[in-house]
Structure 1
Amino acid sequence: MLRTYGFLSTCPPARCGPATFTAALLHHLTAVTPGSAGRVVRVLAEPDREPAVADGAAVAHRMAPGAVEAAAEVLNDCDVVVVQHEHGIHTGRDDEDVLGVLARLRVPVIVVLHTVLTAPAPGRRRVLDEAMGYADAVVTTSEAARRRLVDGYTVERPGEVVVIPHGALPVEPPAREPSTDRPLILTWGLLRRGKGIEWAISALGALRDLKPRYLVAGQTHPEVLAHEGEDYRRNLRNRAIACGVADLIEFDPTYLEVDALAELVRRADVVLLPHDSSEQVTSGVLLEALAARKPVVATAFPHAVELLADGAGLLVPHRDPAAIAAALRRVLTEPGLAAGMSDRSTSLVPAPSWTAVANRYRDLADDLLAARVVVTT
């Protein structure tokens, strides 16, 4: 059945996780229901810093801070609305403008949670609790996020919290064993403090005999760039020099489009996620690495524990360069280990493609619309 799907979110040309997620989900959601349409209300957190790039064709409205009525009017012309919730992407104190929009919607609403903190600030907890109260369904992208949400927040209808994983890039199957000529260790994503790159740099010296190439790919997060420029990247370069490993690490500061990123991931021998935070319940990079059947070394944040504990990767303590080095050495030298991880990820993440994810959202939207018909009749 043809639908018009509304989205309340950031979206390209903004470059952040929710923007990329919205663009991918909209594209594939309309693709799996040919003839359907998508309309995006693009949230402008700081209009004065907007890049001078035209919005995509799906952007029906640009929501300035506080302009909740006009945004809701556009979304009410859709059949169902998908609201991306991530701390900091909506306007108002503690992101509370999203509540003004939700309160005015008359169509079924799916709220997608990209972050679920254990102990958020009181204002942010209130906004999230109230947003869930307006939702017809709440989506988390991991079981760890769902458990934390149900256990720690005001969830009136736990059965309406649905786990739909993040979509993943299409990547060709990897080689069965690590390459022998300068194995490629890859970390990618928007660069900012908390990614743990410092500890990876400190680990490289112990791997010098393997002559690894550690590639950190991705531009600095736009919010970080606006407030502190490239200070963090410069600090990382200086750390590499101080540790004597500047010849083993490379930075690619460009924003990689889908095809270029897929090719880079395909060439990697191991993906490294050395995140500082123990809060992270969702990692699109982790899912994409597993979908590409790549060995993963990650710190023990909740989503990594959920997906890697059974052998698809190796877990290491936070901020522990020695443990990172030991795990990377195992992946790159231990016979059969990388291939075994690849096999395990095949069974662990059988179909995380964006098409499969879009089908899940389509089915959820259909269920919500059907429930509305039953209630009204």
Structure 2
Amino acid sequence: MNKEIKKRNIVFLGTSLPRECGLATFSQDMLDEIQKISDFNPPHIMAVNNDKTYEYGSQVMGQINQFERADYLKAANELNQSNTDVLVIQHEFGIYGGESGEYVVELAEHLTIPFIIIFHTVLSEPSDKQRQIMKKLADMSYKVVTMVQNKVQDLIEVYDIAADKIEMYHHGVPFVDTGSRTELKERYGYSDRQVLSTFGFLSPGKGIEYAIQAMSGVVKTHPEALYIIWGKTHPVVKQQVGEVYRQKLTDLVTELGLENNVAFVDRLLTQEEVVQSLVMSDIYLTPYLGKDQAVSGTLAYGIGYGRVIISTPYRYAIEMLADGRGMLAEFNDSASLETHMLNILDHPELKTEMENKTLALGQTMMWSEVVKSYAKLFREVMSSSYGLKGSAV
């Protein structure tokens, strides 16, 4: 008689939907894929809240008030006493309390169950406190994960993390069955347009103003070009300064007379809408201003769906758009963006070539593929001496 296989229990620590946060979306996408694997139970989340309350679903097993130090110890005890086999700590500066988010270290120190860390941000020049926090977390963890190869060296050299502790897995991209570019353009009323797009939360670091300025030159030879900016203002930015940045952008559109060539969709998109916005795009833009950005979920999505991408040369873009998968414009430079936009619009054969190259990488980045690496790591943790010593009873 076959012995029944004990299913594994995985819990994530971090933000959770419906909180509007890229990290929460990342976690949800991974959870959705893990529960499709036969030897795992549906995963859960220990959700970190800011100063708001959220109507969570059944996948949230507990909550931490970001600013309440006592909540972290309470959560550690709850995790230790649960049937959790492996904890996945999603690390991002700004979501945990204390100086540089140090409260999460106290939680980790009290864990008796094994855990891994996913570093969503790896700063090249961290403060002493930031470096200390990431080093401590790494030392206590079974493994740390980064989503870009060029950050592995930073983890080793800047943070003094042992090379054999580091894994690199791509940022996952969800699969959405959708229509073709032609079908979607027809559905949205853009059949006669060349569509350029950007999606995600709006904030000043996105550099959208330079793409809008570039459009003023593009439309002289391509009046059919339409730049669609999909997404609402980042909730933290909106809370702090309101819609100042969006108003700046809309004023710029009016000033340049681009009302027929730049459009804003001011709301949070569903996952299906995000993918549709990409699939119908002829060019996807990430003109971001921060050169050290280690990972961009929006760029990952663009690659996953094989779009031609024009970006500024931040760290993630340099790596992901190598080998002819995209074009890199200069930072803070609308003329540079314009040159690349026109190059693609003027040469459809170049667009096709670049889309094929990008899609080849993108197919390896779908969550259905990426989750296999995480599942293998979770099994490894549990079967190791680390996992056996740390497993909850």
Q: TM-score range by the shorter chain?
A: over 0.9
User: 2: CA distance between counterparts of 1:287 and 1:44?
Assistant: 26
Aligned residue number for residue 195 of structure 1: 206
Aligned residue number for residue 185 of structure 1: 196
User: 2: CA distance between counterparts of 1:74 and 1:34?
Assistant: 24
Structure 2 unaligned residues grouped into runs of 5+: 1-5
Q: Look up the SS of the partner of 1:32 in the other structure.
A: coil
User: 1: CA distance between counterparts of 2:196 and 2:142?
Assistant: 42
Q: Does 1:126 align with 2:142?
A: no
User: 2: CA distance between counterparts of 1:318 and 1:374?
Assistant: 45
User: How is 1:124-273 mapped onto 2 (pairs within 5 angstroms)?
Assistant: 124-155=130-161, 157-171=162-176, 172=178, 181-208=192-219, 209-211=221-223, 212-273=225-286
CA contact (8 A) 1:42 1:61 kept: yes
User: 1: CA distance between counterparts of 2:38 and 2:203?
Assistant: 37
User: 1: CA distance between counterparts of 2:38 and 2:329?
Assistant: 42
1:54-74 deviations in whole A, cap 9, x for unaligned?
102110111122111211123
Q: 1:340 to 1:126 in 2, by over 3 A?
A: same
1:83-104 deviations in whole A, cap 9, x for unaligned?
0001101112210111011111
Displacement of 1:34 after TM fit?
5.6
Q: Look up the SS of the partner of 1:169 in the other structure.
A: coil
Q: Look up the SS of the partner of 1:365 in the other structure.
A: helix
User: 2: CA distance between counterparts of 1:194 and 1:374?
Assistant: 41
CA contact (8 A) 2:304 2:361 kept: no
CA contact (8 A) 2:34 2:40 kept: no
CA contact (8 A) 2:382 2:388 kept: no
2:326 aligned to which of 313, 326, 344: 313
Q: 1:70 to 1:164 in 2, by over 3 A?
A: same
1:5-37 deviations in whole A, cap 9, x for unaligned?
111101111111111111111121122236513
2:49 aligned to which of 41, 44, 47: 44
Displacement of 1:292 after TM fit?
0.5
User: 2: CA distance between counterparts of 1:91 and 1:201?
Assistant: 37
Q: Look up the SS of the partner of 1:56 in the other structure.
A: coil
Aligned residue number for residue 108 of structure 2: 102
User: 1: CA distance between counterparts of 2:124 and 2:216?
Assistant: 35
Across the two proteins, how many residue pairs are aligned to each other?
371
Displacement of 1:174 after TM fit?
5.5
2:357 aligned to which of 329, 344, 349: 344
Displacement of 1:39 after TM fit?
2.0
Displacement of 1:2 after TM fit?
1.1
Structure-2-length-normalised TM-score: 0.90
Aligned residue number for residue 59 of structure 1: 60
CA contact (8 A) 1:174 1:294 kept: no
User: 1: CA distance between counterparts of 2:153 and 2:351?
Assistant: 30
Q: Does 1:334 align with 2:347?
A: yes
Structure-1-length-normalised TM-score: 0.93
User: 2: CA distance between counterparts of 1:22 and 1:72?
Assistant: 19
Q: Does 1:355 align with 2:348?
A: no
Identity, % of aligned positions? 27
User: How is 1:356-371 mapped onto 2 (pairs within 5 angstroms)?
Assistant: 356-371=369-384
Displacement of 1:375 after TM fit?
6.7
CA contact (8 A) 2:88 2:118 kept: yes
Q: Look up the SS of the partner of 1:336 in the other structure.
A: helix
Displacement of 1:237 after TM fit?
0.9
Structure 1 unaligned residues grouped into runs of 5+: none
1:269-328 deviations in whole A, cap 9, x for unaligned?
110010001001111111111111110001111111111121011111111101101101
Q: Aligned-pair RMSD on alpha carbons?
A: 2.0
Q: Which amino acid aligns with 1:27?
A: D
